[in-house]
Chains A and B, each alone.
Chain A
Amino acid sequence: MDGLRLLLPELGLSVMALLLMACDLFFDARRGKVLMGFGFVAAGVALGSLGLAYNAPDTYQGLGTLWAVDPLGLYFKAIILAATVFALMLSVDYKSPDAIRHPGSFTALVLLSAVGQMFLVSATDLLLIFLSLELVSISSFVLVGYERRDLKSSEGAMKYFLFGAFSSAILVYGISLMYAALGGTSLIDIAPAMDRGVSTSFVVGCVMLAVGFGFKVSMAPFHFWVADAYEGAPTPVTAYLSIAPKAAALAVMLRVFTHLIPHTSLDLQGIFAFMAFLTMTVGNLTALFQTNVKRLLAYSSIAQAGYLLIGFVTGDTIGREGLLMYAMVYVFMNLGAFTVAMAVGNEDGYELEAFDGLARRSLGLALLMAFFLLSLAGIPPMAGFIGKFALFAAAVKGGYWFLAVTAVLNSVVSVYYYMSVVYHMFFKAPRTLEPARTDVLMTGTLAVAAVGVLVIGLYPEPFLAAAKLSADMLPAVSSHP
């Protein structure tokens, strides 16, 4: 239990989640909103406590028995917690108070899912990887189906569950194969085992592990659950799922495939390059045909995962930095887009027609939505451009020309569907002149997201520097020559 102090944020959040679940018994739906408040404050405090780990690296960073708390892990924990805070803030204003019953349990589930992700990004042991992935999955299943009286919500949860259970099975089978090859579950210092030669069961195990992660990242062709789950889930949950678990799964992929498993023993880069290409292309081409904004953003998030995978494929420092940078940018822009969508969708639903003439109803909201969508499309001077720039630069530098060319062409395709939302907002006549309703917390979230996208876009240097500093992983690279 040597490294327990490294896990203070996770422990705190777990305790908070259990407390909230107990408190839930004493609050009705309307007053229970205050529990969500406790939830996002707790997540915010956990986020702040990460600062300790940055300031006192000797005490709060290091190698535990099953986990490693290092700059990379901390960076992704910050992303996960930021997404958690904002998702809970949005939940307060979601639809009518009755839409989310038992807000305490809801909050607890979001927090538990966050805890699972935080374990995941730090895990260096196959067993912990599996356990934390299950914690994330099971709480996500429930969250997707949380609107019990909404059929779509239940449908999404059911599909998500079936796919998720299937992927877990594959993952755990892969882990067992790897156990056979390695003689243990720890991924630290497996290089000696590699020296004896790479066995077939190890390779198959690695591929299955990748498939299991692929489900979480929504890598094509394992993306089929995404659209239904995202559409059915309450919008704050959708926003959350499109950001946090994806980032966490990418982080664990980075750790396992570019770091713990030595490059020399296994070269999956060709496969991953193809997966990245497939993911962005499938995501973008499918998004073209969507008429529901939530589904559109769901497919867009698949495509975005494809861009992120570029950084993972090249695997070198610049690729990793690009991935980290884009993951941070992605939080702000995707969150912003979902927040505007929720402001409109709360009353009018999420079909594209609901966005008709938004520019004349609430010009500010429409401009912000256009701003976030353009950022997602990677148009400068928005932050999305800087992120894509870093990723494409990695592809060009690594000589992955095919990936670079398909990625930029995908960006062009994506503009078409992002602009279709803009088309409805700016070019169509509104059905009502009533401004869309936004509450304090939503406005706050929007403001944070907009400032984030703008500042990172115009002055990216500090953020690039942060990404650069966070690209370090434990155990140090030097242990694998």
Chain B
Amino acid sequence: MGILSLITFLPLLGALIILVLPREQVKAVRAVGVLATLASLAASLYALSQFHPGDAAAGQLPMQFLEKFSWIPSFDVNYFMGVDGLSLPIILLTTLLCFLAAVYSASIEERVKEFYFWFLILEVGMLGVFCALDLFLFYVFWELTLVPMYFLIGVWGGPKKEFAAIKFFLFTLFGSVFMLLGILALYFQSNPHTFDMLELMKASAGFSREFQIIVFIGFWLGLAVKVPAFPFHTWLPLAHVEAPTPVSVILAGVLLKMGVYGLLRISYSILPLGYEWFLPGLIVIAVINIVYGAFCAMAQDDMKKMVAYSSVNHMGYCLLGMAAVSDAGFNGAALQMVNHGLITGALFFLVGVIYDRAHTRDINAFGGLGAKLPVYAGLMAMTCFASLGLPGLCGFISEFLCFLGAFPAWKLWTTVSVIGILVTAAFFLRMMQKVFLGPLNEKWKDLPDMSARELVAVSPLAVLMLLFGIWPRLVLDLMNPTLKVMTGMFPTMFQLVRP
């Protein structure tokens, strides 16, 4: 068994063990849950140590740790896994966030066994999506994330959890069935019929423009819901707010990346003509996401909802970078995926911390907590600054790269989207002012500061935010060769955005 299968299926092993444990053994269930995610994290770190970023000059995606077995020969479906510089950082992000969320989930008291079971299945699905190089396999893993997420939101969520759960399920499924049709269309169009992504990338030169555009639209419906790109974002605030804290972290930190990853891996690489056709639309949607998302966040009093809308805004930066189709833009988009995972993951943890204590997330209900909870306030301030793009923290680098990439191609639109940065700064500062500064609200004078469990969950993210802010090459060196190959894949296309 290869390392990628190990990373992907270790959580499944944990889930199966949990299934046979008696439900009263809460401690054992938690331990297995945390250990399974830890094992997966360790395996992914091992993969990182063995990974060679590759050389852009070779002109080939540096796919590594390939595993290929025939699975359904009738349809030429293979169990085909592999990673390159685009997927490996996201896999690491996934295993890390899952581990931290599993640790944080120790606060879940109700139906613990079921919780960890679904949580681990969810991790399997997410990791599989990023490892799969066969479209059929990709789709199976993609859908595998739906059901656990439905239960995680629906059972352990907030007041409107049932509605949030089914809305999430239906929205995502609505999109992904069109992706399925797209996958089938690609299969029957290729000759010989194949689901192999690498083969399809080679075969794409033979697909007509009309065909690519139609299939691109199918994929866009599936992927845009996940990103979420305007106007398919309406499930997100609801799901993020209603989900329990660790699940919000996974939703924002990892699930949204599946959409962006799919756009780069499939839509761009296999359907370049469709992607080219869609570029003007993509930049508009990116700007709407950035500006509209930021204004929506500004309007929220609920901290969790604010963070949720800030995700819409931040994923807009990813789309902005992708609309550039340049080295800087793609690097920015890929780095933004990782950074957003770290930052928003931390933000949701921190909002959860205060909610667990005060049972409210209303910004106006607090005040003066800065002196009362110094550790919490410090971490929160740092995360907010990272999110609004303060130089020295990781968010700045990726946003800067996205803008740098997009500006030469889309001067007007990039300028408009700067409004988004301003508003982002405004709503984060407003939140910090209302919660941490001013006179202490007497109601909260007995609030304890962060516990060890919470610190374990948040501090690794804070350290990484600082580290990647100062020395972004840690990540960029991993990604850059892959992304350079990708931008160089179609030298004669994309005249629209190339000088």
Contact = CB atoms under 8 A, between A and B. Distances in A.
A380 B143 contact: yes
A423 B155 contact: no
Given A379-B147, A393-B184, A423 B177 contact: no
A52 interface: no
A427 B162 contact: yes
Interface string B139-179: 11001101100110011000001100010011001100110
Interface residues on B, range: 20 to 34
Interface stretch (B67-75, B248-256, B407-415, B461-469): B67-75
A408 B169 contact: no
Contacts of A392: 180-181, 184
Contacts of A363: 23, 114
A460 B72 contact: yes
Given A397-B188, A411-B177, A412-B173, 7 more contacts: A374-B147, A379-B143, A404-B181, A408-B181, A423-B154, A423-B166, A468-B74
A272 B326 CA distance: 50
B74 A465 contact: yes
B187 interface: yes
Interface in A363-405: 363, 370, 374, 379-381, 385, 389, 392-393, 396-397, 404-405
29 contacts: A363-B23, A370-B147, A374-B147, A379-B146, A379-B147, A379-B173, A380-B139, A380-B140, A380-B144, A381-B140, A385-B140, A392-B181, A393-B184, A397-B184, A405-B178, A408-B177, A412-B177, A415-B169, A415-B170, A416-B166, A416-B170, A419-B166, A423-B154, A423-B162, A461-B71, A461-B74, A464-B72, A465-B74, A468-B74
B114 A359 contact: yes
B185 interface: yes
B154 A427 contact: yes
A426 B177 contact: no
B143 A396 contact: no
A1 B143 CA distance: 54
A52 to B, nearest CB: 27
Interface string B210-227: 000000000000000000
A426 B111 CA distance: 11
Most buried by B among A385, A405, A461: A461
A412 B72 contact: no
A217 to B, nearest CB: 24
Contacts of B150: 419
A193 interface: no
A409 B177 contact: yes
Interface of A: 359, 363, 370, 374, 379-381, 385, 389, 392-393, 396-397, 404-405, 408-409, 411-412, 415-416, 419, 423, 426-427, 460-461, 464-465, 468
A419 B166 CA distance: 8
Nearest to B182: A396
Contacts of A423: 154, 162, 166
B413 to A, nearest CB: 32
Contacts of A409: 174, 177
Contacts of A405: 178, 181
Interface in B353-374: none
Contacts of A408: 177-178, 180-181
A370 B121 CA distance: 15
Contacts of B180: 389, 392, 408
B351 to A, nearest CB: 24
A404 to B, nearest CB: 6
A260 B55 CA distance: 61
B375 to A, nearest CB: 36
A445 B73 CA distance: 30
Contacts of B147: 370, 374, 379
A465 B185 CA distance: 23
A419 B149 CA distance: 13
A384 to B, nearest CB: 12
Contacts of A465: 74
A443 B72 CA distance: 30
Nearest to A390: B75
Contacts of B73: 461
B174 A412 contact: yes
Contacts of A426: 151, 154-155
Contacts of B173: 379, 411-412, 415
Contact of A461 (B72, B143, B162): B72
A405 B180 CA distance: 10
Contacts of A389: 75, 180
A416 B187 CA distance: 29
Contacts of A419: 150, 166, 169
Interface in B59-82: 71-75
A363 B181 CA distance: 35
B177 A464 contact: no
A415 B73 CA distance: 29
Interface string B184-210: 110110000000000000000000000
Nearest to A393: B184
A380 B142 CA distance: 9
Nearest to A405: B181
Nearest to A467: B74
B411 to A, nearest CB: 39
A91 to B, nearest CB: 31
A189 B208 CA distance: 44
